[in-house]
Amino acid sequence: LEKKCINCGTATKIRTSGVHISDNGCIGVFSDDDDFECSDCGCKEAGEDIHDSSEDGDDDDDNASEIMSELEKAVGHETPDLDAQDSEASGSKPSNAKRNIIGSIRSNKKKQRLSKQEEFQKCMDEFTKSQKESDEKILEEMKNQVKVDAELRKQELKAYADSMALLANAISSRQQPTVQQPLSNQFYFEDENSTKTYYKL
């Protein structure tokens, strides 16, 4: 929404009333009674006061009326209606239409407050749920990465042990060369110009 400044006429974008979540996860709550400040001239304009003091006073009057009715039932007689006596004395009748309008306005304001609270609670529940799912996903990925690293480390140690065993066998075979033993009950002779041994069958 856009709102124009009453001083310079500059249009400025404003947030609607309710709960807003930014891209970085910050939560902001805006209402109609927030003050408006112009970004150009710095002029401030008071917002609409939804939670006025008269509403709280009306709520207190309602509570007092309910208490009086309960007392009337307990005592067994009705208390005199002071408003009716005043109206009769002044010669005027109370306006039922006015009372109905005030009651409807009061109920609408209560519904607005409840709807904003429910919307805020819903946003908080969704944010908490998404945060929990993200933490669980990160924890699961960390566990899988630890398993993969452990398996790679095990394979590296096995390959290192095999290479060391092959190296040890090669060194031992060089230090102790194999000597061909003559066959029993057979004559053999050696060539003077060669190191090989020939057997006579």
Return the number of other C-beta atoms located less than 10 Å from residue 58's C-beta.
16
What's the domain count of the chain?
A: 1
149 is a domain residue: no
- pTM of the predicted protein model: 0.28
Look up residue 32 and give its DSSP letter: T
pLDDT at position 94: 47
Phi and psi at residue 9, to the nearest 5°: 80, 10
Interval 9-47: pLDDT, tens: 777 777 666 666 777 767 766 666 666 677 677 777 665
Band (77; pLDDT cuts 50, 70, 90): very low
Please report whether residue 23 resides in a domain. yes
Residue scoring higher pLDDT (187 or 11): 11
Question: Looking at the DSSP assignment, which residues form a beta bridge with residue 195?
Answer: none
Question: Which among 38, 36, 45 is positioned nearest to 10, based on CA atoms?
Answer: 38
Amino acid letter, residue 99: R
Does 72 reside within a domain?
no
User: pLDDT tens-digit profile of 80-110?
Assistant: 444 544 444 444 444 566 677 777 777 777 7
**pLDDT digits over 104-158, tens only?**
777 777 777 778 888 888 888 889 898 899 999 999 999 999 999 999 999 999 9
Q: Domain span at residue 24?
A: 1-43
